[in-house]
Amino acid sequence: MKKPFYKKWWFWVIIVVLVIGALGSKNNDPTKTAKTDSKTTESKAVSTTASVDKKEEPKKEEAPKMAKIGEAVQVGNLAVQANKASSKTTIGQNEFMQKKTADKYLVINLSIKNLDKEARTLDASMFKLIDAAGLEYEPMADADLYVNDSGNMLFLAKINPGLTKTANVVFEVPKDGKGFKLQADSGIGWEAGKRELIDIGK
């Protein structure tokens, strides 16, 4: 009797060849390859976009340094220290020369040292007050006459290298104002933009 065809050796060789061919065709499926390439491209695009967005983020400005009463802070080529701050309704050197307000004066005693190699010009306009709400207050232009002696006035005062000048600066503010910070500028006519804050505790 003849063997059935499925017991012939050549039948199984054909089966093995067909199976190998089918597996190879599946692995070389162009649709699958296209999908994989598409996913890779999308991933790269997302990564590149994220990288660009990260680089384009603006740099955050550093918050100004904050000193307290009795602490010196360097502002450009000056060292500024608020020695004390007091609230008053009247300022003046004597009973014949006084100035009054219905609100309040903040009188701040300052020590300013010149750290530069040459003389610098000081003035009360180098300072301003900023309250808790962000409102800004300019110093009183005529306050020198009421709170400083002739030898320690701030109006366009010259200070030589290494020397320290002590003087008072006055601000007129609302009587209910609070949370005041003193902003010190680096001076008149040089190093514009260098400013620091001092918490005066008022």
CATH number for 160: 2.60.40.1240
Q: What phi and psi values does residue 119 have, to the nearest 5 degrees?
A: -65, 150
Cβ atoms < 10 Å from Cβ of 88: 15
Higher pLDDT, 201 or 112: 112
Residues 77 and 45 in one domain: no
Residues 15 and 80 in one domain: no
CB 88 within 8 A of CB 67: no
Q: What's 105's DSSP letter?
A: E
Residue pLDDT, tens place only, 24-82: 665 555 555 545 555 555 555 555 555 545 555 555 555 555 888 999 988 888 999 99
In the numeric block, the tokens 């701050």 are attached to 85
Distance CA 158, CA 105 (A): 26
Residues 122 and 158 in one domain: yes
Distance CA 184, CA 78 (A): 10
Residue 9 structural domain: 5-55
Distance CA 97, CA 109 (A): 20
Please state, rounded to an integer, the average pLDDT across all residues of the chain.
Answer: 78
Residues 78 and 127 in one domain: yes
CB 155 within 8 A of CB 170: no
Q: Tell me which of 55, 78, 96 is where a domain ends.
A: 55
> How many domains does the structure of the chain reveal?
2
Residues 112 and 161 in one domain: yes
Residues 109 and 75 in one domain: yes
- In-domain check, residue 60: no
Instruction: Tell whether pTM > 0.75.
Output: no
How confident is residue 177, by pLDDT bands cut at 50, 70 and 90?
confident
Residues 25 and 92 in one domain: no
- In-domain check, residue 61: no
